[in-house]
Structure 1
Amino acid sequence: MKHYDRSRKLCEWERLDEWRNKVRASLAANESSRISPFHLLSLPGISAAEQRQCADLWLLARLAASQAERDDLAFQFVGPARPKIRLGYLSCDFHDHATAYLLVEMLEAHDKDRFEIYAYSYGADDGGDMRQRLLRCFDRFVDLSELSIADSAKAIHADQIDILIDLKGYTRGTRTEILTYRPAPIQVNYLGYPSTLGGDFCDYIVTDPYLTPPGSAADYSEAFAYLPDSYQPHGRHAEIGKLSSRVEQGLPEHGFVFCCFNQAYKIMPEIFDVWCRLLYNTPGSVLWLLKNASAKGRLRNEAYQRGIVPDRLIFADELPQIEHLGRLGLADLVLDTAPYNAHTTASDALWVGVPMITCAGDTFPSRVAGSLLRAIGLDELIATDLDTYYTLAHDLANCPEQLADVNRKLAANRLNTPLFDTLAYTLHLEALFQAMWRRHQDGLQPITIESH
């Protein structure tokens, strides 16, 4: 699937049907160990059940290769009872990264009287402000970057971690394979990967009832650990830079600004068709996208083929987070992608006060934006099909009074609904960790648990 990975990053869509058919043929033949489960999250028409099957198959060869080493280690968990639950967060993103921006206020809010928190990092130390801030969050910060998978597992086990929390899944740079060695008695899939890890090495996935309804449990190898609102944390003290001007950002002084700062690989032809219809039927409007040197020309050509003058697509440079949040307020409406939704980019937009519409599907990654909108009381911006998505966006773009009503509601709800209530979120997450630990101590298997 290397060709597919390259094509999706370039927004080359001609072979999507061929790639989907190849995936399904491989799944049917139980031979998908070469297909990264991550690639299926953005492929239209792939179900959550197929995503799980791919994850299960992805693991087979890797588990076979490490079987002898894992058997030799065979970690046991008979450490002394402690007054605090020891949490270990595993990631390569403990620096200036979207996951870090989502997590940092929650980590700072952890109850140090009930929990010890350890970081296990295998990513770069960029020496930046976020790295320094994260270092202060943890009771212990361990750099695993020079260790092998097995030695990393040994280090985690030696620290007697009670609950190991993986923040990467099968995304770029992952070493989630450490979890297959079972260095901790409870292992959790959290935040970084919007799908199942497959296999039998991860006990829980932190989620919410909208993202993964109870009826979808068979599509996940992990038991559901339900938060009451959205699964995603986001700080309520994230600094917003000085509001830029339209001229500074290359935007027209007048006209409606549709915006999507998702990565180019999430843009699929069906959603792009809708965006171009919106541009065609909203005179003077533009579509503001995140700059991608490889995909920029391709997207402008696709717009031209749909009757849109290419310069109505405006491309934004990458900026530091604070500056990015400052310019984001220039957008009038964020348009979500499908079937792989906005994640951090969605909550960032809502944080700076820009409404967003989404089209919810049946998989975890296709319901993230809907989860966020529900947690901020804007359920009416969730569409269930692309026709409704188009109508919602068109009406907001062409009816100033309707958009003003939504903006007023977003402003009123921003700090008065669960989405940005970091302290309440942290308490709910800690309640889940305590429930996991109690079940383990009682010798009980993981099941769906809830925090109220």
Structure 2
Amino acid sequence: MRIGYLSADFRNHPVAHLITQVIAAHDRKQFEAHLYAYGPEIDDEERRRLIEAADHFTGISRMDDVEAAQRIRDDQIDILIDLTGYTAHARLGICALRPTPVIASWIGYIGTLGGGAAGRLHHAKRQTPNAKRQSLADHRARIALTDIALDTFPYNSGATASDVLRAGVPLVTCMGETFVSRMAGSLLHTLGMDELCTSSRPDYVSLVIELARNASKREAIRRKLGEQLSTSVLYQPDKFASQLEQLLRAMHEQAKGGRRSI
């Protein structure tokens, strides 16, 4: 099965930080990964890692939407996954031309695309200003110095939450009813750290104060988080890629049966 990933963020960007290892972990006996890059043409370390991780990397920045869609169609892609959505440099006109049997949206935009442009895979990312960014390793090293991380509400952190938890730092979140207000809670639940999830502002403030004052409880939570990280699917790209592939197969089968194409 040929999977196409379409993005303006195949560079030092949170989307790339989340996706690179997953692309590299695809089962190459069953899946072929094609990356279609537009937007800023930046030759940085993250982009080079993506080129190495993929089976094919195609720059389409200088193609118009019709030309780009035709290139994707000519490559006989089975599923096209848009990783940008309505964020900077978006080119949803490519998806609107329906170059593949199945089109999905993932990571880059937390919301539906509307107009039948794409289905949605429920995962998360963060959008950062176009300022000079420190290396990912330096970023995570600085995060590890934190005692407690406080999640935002009603729009939760996504890739930021992932970075914080990967660094072994307890993250306190307040969960709402919408997808964007439950991103950090989803990560914590998957890690078995539900004690860091609250559902009201008073509970959120109370838990933060308790952890700030109680060093022994804070350290116990850090130890538990460290243990959970060693086994969680969140930070094991091979396991995550396998689960993603199961989802992609199901979507493809639904499309073949005439039940879904977006």
Return the TM-score normalized by structure 2: 0.93
Q: Which has the larger radius of gyration?
A: 1
Distance 1:409 1:94, change over 3 A: same
Residue equivalent to 1:409:
224
Please state how far the C-alpha of 1:366 moved relative to its aligned partner: 1.1
Residue equivalent to 1:445:
260
Residue equivalent to 1:103:
19
Residue equivalent to 1:435:
250
Q: Give, in whole Å, the separation in 1 of the partners of 2:144 and 2:232.
A: 20
Please state how far the C-alpha of 1:433 moved relative to its aligned partner: 0.8
Residue equivalent to 2:184:
369
Q: Aligned to 1:195, which of 111, 123, 131?
A: 111
Q: Give, in whole Å, the separation in 1 of the partners of 2:261 and 2:52.
A: 32
Task: Give the SS at the match of 1:387.
Answer: helix
Please state how far the C-alpha of 1:421 moved relative to its aligned partner: 2.2
Residue equivalent to 1:29:
none
Structure 1 residue 154 corresponds to structure 2 residue 70: yes
Q: Give, in whole Å, the separation in 1 of the partners of 2:260 and 2:226.
A: 43
Q: Aligned to 1:330, which of 141, 145, 163?
A: 145
Superposed CA RMSD: 2.2
Residue equivalent to 1:382:
197
Q: 2:14 touches 2:127 (CA, 8 Å); kept in 1?
A: no
Distance 1:197 1:333, change over 3 A: same
Residue equivalent to 1:206:
121
Please state how far the C-alpha of 1:200 moved relative to its aligned partner: 1.5
Task: Give the SS at the match of 2:86.
Answer: coil
Equivalent pairs: percent with the same residue? 38
Structure 1 residue 395 corresponds to structure 2 residue 210: yes
Return the TM-score normalized by structure 1: 0.55
Q: Give, in whole Å, the separation in 2 of the partners of 1:327 and 1:408.
A: 19
Task: Give the SS at the match of 1:184.
Answer: coil
Q: Aligned to 2:56, which of 140, 143, 147?
A: 140
Task: Give the SS at the match of 2:221.
Answer: helix
Task: Give the SS at the match of 1:142.
Answer: strand
Mapping 1:70-109, distance limit 5 Å: 85-109=1-25
1:374-429 deviations in Å (ceiling 9; x for gaps):
11111111111111110110000011121111111111111122221221111010
Mapping 1:36-185, distance limit 5 Å: 85-185=1-101
Q: Give, in whole Å, the separation in 2 of the partners of 1:341 and 1:444.
A: 33
1:335-354 deviations in Å (ceiling 9; x for gaps):
11111111111111111111
Counterpart residue identity of residue 51, structure 2: L
Task: Give the SS at the match of 2:226.
Answer: helix
Q: 2:185 touches 2:197 (CA, 8 Å); kept in 1?
A: yes
For structure 2, the 5+ residue unaligned runs are none
Counterpart residue identity of residue 250, structure 2: A
Q: 1:144 touches 1:152 (CA, 8 Å); kept in 2?
A: yes
1:181-207 deviations in Å (ceiling 9; x for gaps):
1111100011111111111231x3112
Please state how far the C-alpha of 1:263 moved relative to its aligned partner: 5.9
Q: Give, in whole Å, the separation in 2 of the partners of 1:176 and 1:368.
A: 24
Task: Give the SS at the match of 2:103.
Answer: strand
Q: Give, in whole Å, the separation in 2 of the partners of 1:354 and 1:102.
A: 18
- The number of equivalent residue pairs is 262
Distance 1:342 1:262, change over 3 A: farther
Q: 1:125 touches 1:131 (CA, 8 Å); kept in 2?
A: no
Task: Give the SS at the match of 2:57.
Answer: strand
Task: Give the SS at the match of 2:258.
Answer: coil
1:269-326 deviations in Å (ceiling 9; x for gaps):
xxxxxxxxxxxxxxxxxxxxxxx99xxxxxxxxxxxxxxxxxxxxxxx9522111111
Distance 1:232 1:376, change over 3 A: farther
